[in-house]
Amino acid sequence: MRTVNRLKAFIKKPHNIILVGLAVILAYLTLFPLFSLIRDTFIVHPSEIMSVKGAAVNDYTLFHWRKVFLDGERSAKLFYLPLWNTVQVSLYSSVIAIVLGGAVAWLVTRSNMRFKKFVSVVFIFPYIMPSWTLAMAWLNFFRNRLVGGAPGLFTALTGIATPNWFAYGMFPTSIVLGLHYSPFAYILIGGILRNMDANLEEAAMILKASRAKILARINLPIVMPAILSTFLLVFSSSMSAFAVPAFLGTPVRFQVLTTQLYRTLNGLNPGYGYIMAVVMIVIGTAILAANQWFVGKRKSFTTITGKSSNSSIVNLRKFRTPVSVVLLALVVAVAILPLATFAIESFIMAPGDYSAKNFTAQFWIGEGAEDIGGGEPGVLRNKYLYLALWNSLKLSVIVSLFAGTVGGLAGYAIVRGRGTKLASFVNNLAFFPYLLPSMAFGAIYLSMFAKPTLIIPSLYGSFALLVLVGTVKYLPFASRSGINAMLQLSGEIEEAGVILGIPWHKRMARIIFPIQKASFLSGYLLPFISCMRELALFVLLITPANRVITTLLFQYNEKGWNQWANAINLLIVAIVLIFNTVINKITGASIDKGIGT
C-alpha cells in the first residue's frame, strides 16, 4: 500500500514522467550505440580483410587493440602522438574561448562599453560559419611559402614571412577553434551575467568591496557553472573537430585523433578509428565527471527570484573608448574580415590576382566551363546546390524543433527532480551525446541503423536517420540551456502556480517559458545553427541523394575549388543570419538577445 501511494505521488509529478520517458529513450539512443561501438573495436570490417590477413568479415579479433596501443613506434605515430596533440589543442582552444567569450560577455552585459549592439550581433558570426572556413581564412591571410603558390595577404602587405608554427599546425588550429567556439562562452556566461541579481553586487558595494573583489567573489562564483559548462563544451567540440586540423595541419603533417579517425574510418582500418572514438569518449566522460563533482559541491545558483532585479552597469571611465575600439577591431577582424575575403575570392578567376580584369561572376551565375573546375556551373545555377540547401534547411529546422523541445523539457525535469538518482542519470544521458565525437557518432549510427534493430527499421539512406542523429547529438545544447534557465528560476514561482491549481502545461506555457524565453529559445537556436554548419556528424550517413550543403561545401574546399566554396559559405552565413533576424522580429528573441543589450 505504501509503495502504491509512493508510486502515485511519483507519477503525479510531471517531471518524473518526463524523466522516466527520457531515461528509456536516451538509454536506447546513446548507451546502446556505445555497446555497438565497443563491439566494433573487436571485429573485422569489410575493408580490413586487406590488413587482418586471413580473417573473414565479422570475425572477432584483438588486432585493432594491439595495433593502436602496443605496436611501438607505429602506435606512437598512429595514436599516442595524435592523442597528445588533441589534448593540447582542446585545452588551448577552451582557454581562448572562455577568456575571449567571457570578457566580451562581461563587457556587453555589465559595462558601459560602446558598440554593444554591433559587437553582440557580430561576435557570434564565427560560430555560424562552418569552422573550417575560418581555417581557410587563416590560410588566406597567413600562409607562407611552405605550400608554394602565392603568399598570404599578411605577407603580401607587410613583407613579413610568417613562420611555419604560426601558419600551420597546433597554433592556428587552437586559435581558430577557440574563436569558433568563443560564442559558446559568450552565450552561456553572458546569459548568467545578464540575469544576475544586482542586489548581490549592491550589497557588496554597500559593504565597500572593491570592483576586483566583487568580480572575484560574486561574479565569478555565479558564472562558474557556466564557465565549467563552456569548458566542457569547447573541450569536447575541439576534441572532435575534424576539418580545422585537417586544413591547417596537413601542410606540416600535424595529426590529431580526428584526422586519424577520418582516415581510418574511410580507409582500410575502421577498427582503429572506433578505438580512438572510445578513447575520446573516455576523456570526455572524465571531464564531465570532474565537472559534476565540482558543480555538485555548490548548493544553488538561483539568480532569478520573484523580486525585481536590475543589474548595475560598470563605468569603464577613461578605458571606455580604448576598450570599445580594441574590441570592435577584434570582432571585425575575426568575424567580418573573413566574410569579406570570401566575398572577394568568390569573384576571382586566376588565384592571387586582384586586378579588375580578373573579376568574374562565373562562379555565381556562370554556366559550366571545363577549363575551370570540372565544368561546374556557378552556385546559383547549380541544381545540386539547391537540393542540398533545401535538405540542410529542412534538417536544421526539424532537428532544432525536436532537440529544443526535448531539451527544454529535460532541463525542466532535471532541475525539478534535482538530487534524485533518476534526474542525474537523465542529466548525464542528455549530455552524453556531446562527448561522442561527431564523426564516430555518425559511424555508430551507421552501423546500428543500416539494418533493422529492435523496433526500428533500417534507416540508412533516409532523412529520418539524419534527423535522429542530429536531434540526439544537439540535445546537450538544448538541455544545457534548459537547465541553466531552470536553475536560475526560483522554485517559488512555479509553486505559486501549483497552489493556484494551474495545470502543468499552463504553468510551462504561461509562467516558466515566458520568464526564461531567451534561454529556452537559445536551446532551439543553437541546434539549428549547429546543424546548418555541421559536417562530421553527417558525412558518413549521407547518401548522395540526401546530402546537405556542408558536405557540398567541404567537397569544394577539399578539391580546391575555392570560389564555389566561398560563395556557398556566404550563402550559409546569410541564411542563418536571415533566420536569426526573422526569429528576432517574430518572437523578439535571438541568440545575441539571449544576452541582450
Partner 1 sequence: MHRTFKLLTALTLLVLVGPGLWAEPSADLVAAAKKEGKVVVYSITSRIANAATAFEKKYGIKVEAYNLKDGELIEKVSREVGGNIAGADFVISQDSGRVYGQLISTGYLVNYVPDSMKSVIPAKYQNPLVFQYINKVFIFNSEKTAKPVIKNVWELTEPKWKGLVQFKDPKLEGVNQNFLTMLTSPEWSAKLDKAYQDLYGKKLALTTKNAGYEWIKRFFQNGLILGNSDTTISENVGIKGQPATVMGLFVYSKTRYDEKKNLALTPMTEVEPFSGFLYPAFLSMTKNAKNKNAAKLFIEYLLTAEGFAPWSKDVGAYSSNPSVPIDKDDHPMSFWAPKLVDEDPAYLFQNRADVEEFVNTISSN
Interface residues with partner 1 (CB under 8 A) are 46-47, 49-51, 73-74, 77-78, 81-82, 145-150, 246-247, 250-255, 259, 263, 266-269, 349-353, 368-376, 384, 446, 450-451, 458, 460-461, 540, 543-545, 547, 555, 557-561
Nearer to partner 1, 149 or 322 (CB): 149
- 452 sits in which H/E element: none
Nearer to partner 1, 245 or 411 (CB): 245
Q: What distance in Å separates the CA atoms of residue 199 and residue 178, rounded to the nearest whole number?
A: 34
Nearer to partner 1, 14 or 368 (CB): 368
Nearer to partner 1, 72 or 501 (CB): 72
Nearer to partner 1, 457 or 514 (CB): 457
Report in angstroms how near the CB of residue 447 gets to partner 1 at its nearest: 10
C-alpha dihedral, 27 to 31 to 36 to 40, nearest 10°:
170
Nearer to partner 1, 267 or 596 (CB): 267
Nearer to partner 1, 415 or 440 (CB): 440
Sequence-distant contacts of 371-380: CB under 8 A, at least 24 apart: 373/559, 373/561, 373/564, 376/561, 376/564, 378/564, 378/567, 379/564, 379/567, 379/568, 379/571
Nearer to partner 1, 68 or 483 (CB): 68
Distance from chain centroid for Cα 278: 20
Closest CA to 485 of 304, 335, 251: 304
Q: What distance in Å separates the CA atoms of residue 557 and residue 132, rounded to the nearest whole number?
A: 9
**Residue 489: beta bridge partners?**
304
> CA angle 338-585-97, nearest 5°?
40
Q: Give whole-number Cα distances, 120 to 103, 104, 126, 129, 137, in Å.
A: 12, 8, 12, 16, 22
**CA end-to-end distance (rounded Å), the chain:** 56
Report in angstroms how near the CB of residue 176 gets to partner 1 at its nearest: 16
Nearer to partner 1, 322 or 452 (CB): 452
Distant-in-sequence, close-in-space partners of 365: CB < 8 Å, separation ≥ 6: 378, 380, 381
Q: What distance in Å separates the CA atoms of residue 525 and residue 523, rounded to the nearest whole number?
A: 6
DSSP string for residues in 513-569: HHHTHHHHHHHHHHHHHHHHT--HHHHTT--GGG--HHHHHHHHHHHT-HHHHHHHH
Report in angstroms how near the CB of residue 51 gets to partner 1 at its nearest: 3
Nearer to partner 1, 383 or 505 (CB): 383
Collapse the DSSP code of 120 into the 3-class scheme (helix H, G, I; strand E, B; otherwise coil) and give the result.
Answer: helix
Distance from chain centroid for Cα 379: 27
Report in angstroms how near the CB of residue 162 gets to partner 1 at its nearest: 15
Q: Give whole-number Cα distances, 71 to 59, 62, 156, in Å.
A: 21, 13, 46
Nearer to partner 1, 253 or 297 (CB): 253
- Residue 417 is classified by DSSP as T
Nearer to partner 1, 492 or 558 (CB): 558
Nearer to partner 1, 425 or 561 (CB): 561
Q: Give whole-number Cα distances, 258 to 39, 61, 450, in Å.
A: 20, 23, 23
Report in angstroms how near the CB of residue 278 gets to partner 1 at its nearest: 20
Report in angstroms how near the CB of residue 376 gets to partner 1 at its nearest: 6
Report in angstroms how near the CB of residue 385 gets to partner 1 at its nearest: 12
Report in angstroms how near the CB of residue 540 gets to partner 1 at its nearest: 8
> CA angle 69-538-432, nearest 5°?
60
Q: How many CB atoms lie within 10 A of CB 325?
A: 12
Nearer to partner 1, 547 or 593 (CB): 547
Distant-in-sequence, close-in-space partners of 176: CB < 8 Å, separation ≥ 6: 131, 134, 135, 138, 244, 248
Report in angstroms how near the CB of residue 559 gets to partner 1 at its nearest: 5
Report in angstroms how near the CB of residue 463 gets to partner 1 at its nearest: 13
Report in angstroms how near the CB of residue 375 gets to partner 1 at its nearest: 4
Report in angstroms how near the CB of residue 390 gets to partner 1 at its nearest: 15
Report in angstroms how near the CB of residue 310 gets to partner 1 at its nearest: 53
Q: What distance in Å separates the CA atoms of residue 588 and residue 592, rounded to the nearest whole number?
A: 11
Q: What distance in Å separates the CA atoms of residue 464 and residue 116, rounded to the nearest whole number?
A: 41
- Residue 499 is classified by DSSP as H
DSSP string for residues in 3-14: HHHHHHHHHHSH
- Residue 268 is classified by DSSP as S
Report in angstroms how near the CB of residue 549 gets to partner 1 at its nearest: 15
Report in angstroms how near the CB of residue 179 gets to partner 1 at its nearest: 21
Residue for cell digits 569547447? 234
Nearer to partner 1, 250 or 424 (CB): 250
Q: How many CB atoms lie within 10 A of CB 72?
A: 7
- 356 sits in which H/E element: none
